[in-house]
Structure 1
């Protein structure tokens, strides 16, 4: 049996099907963390200038997403890395991360930083394997015992 073809491309986060994917991501994170430790970007923020929002699809079904927003000269913040539960464990997160880094490089982004919750060991493991290293809080973030801050030079 052939593996399904996966496409990863920029999309408008305000599309209804993509909104449902974002809602799944919200529910997942809200189950893990209190509201003051969730740093969720809504669809309007994800559609703002300086932001790239990518969606992974198989047979037109949205399976995952990832985004970045420019936060400084040659510096972007990763947002909204999410893979639906039924699509996990097949390397889709790694493919989304690679697509994000490629999109960032094409826009002359030299560094990507992220905030991840400490209750997501699989995501943290993926980021570490991809070369992300711990760093102090950046941008408007304050220290949070439930947050891990990471960065990578591209």
Structure 2
């Protein structure tokens, strides 16, 4: 694992590390995200259906945030084309929410997308995920038409941001 960045979160230090999407901590966190989505919407995309190669360098990256040795957040990027990156599987555990960790993961993912040549970033989140929607809006994301076929606009929200703004 490569140490990516660190910061102080409350009184505990946390560390972002680049890992494989198949890493046990990544699987644990993405399954927790999946369970929350199913509880909210009655269905969700199964994270195990996403090939681990989607997040392999140099065209992708998956980050895990650890606090006191415990995985508390994650997120990944993958290039969709030379100019556009997609954020996937961004999640922060309930015990770590409200402390700026999501914003830090998001900024790290944006920085990594830009370093890979992306000028635009896209993502999807749920219409009922008010915390995520507020984070993305406050970080400069704007609504856009869905880029994934078959999505229900009453359930899914597609967002975009131009990097470097």
TM-score normalised by structure 1 residue count = 0.89
Within the candidate set 103, 106, 113, 2:115 is matched to 106
Q: RCO higher in 1 or 2 (8 Å CA, sep ≥ 6)? A: 1
Please show how residues 133-148 of structure 1 align to structure 2 within 5 Å: 133-140=142-149, 142-148=151-157
Partner residue of 1:153?
162
Distance 1:18 1:41 in 2: 10
Partner residue of 1:13?
21
Tell me if the contact between 1:46 and 1:67 (Cα under 8 Å) persists in the aligned partners.
no
Within the candidate set 96, 121, 139, 2:130 is matched to 121
Distance 2:49 2:72 in 1: 17
Tell me if the contact between 2:34 and 2:47 (Cα under 8 Å) persists in the aligned partners.
no
| 1:45 and 2:54 matched | no
Tell me if the contact between 1:51 and 1:69 (Cα under 8 Å) persists in the aligned partners.
yes
| Structure 1 moving runs of 4+ over 4 Å | none
The Cα RMSD (Å) is 1.8
List gaps (5 residues or longer) in structure 2. Answer: 1-9
List gaps (5 residues or longer) in structure 1. Answer: none
Tell me if the contact between 1:46 and 1:53 (Cα under 8 Å) persists in the aligned partners.
no
Deviations 1:21-62, CA, capped at 9 Å, x for gaps: 111111011111132xx3444375244343211111112211
Partner residue of 2:83?
74
**Cα distance change on mapping 1:24 and 1:142 into 2, 3 Å:** closer
How many residues are treated as equivalent by the alignment?
151
**Displacement after TM superposition at 1:71 (Å):** 1.1
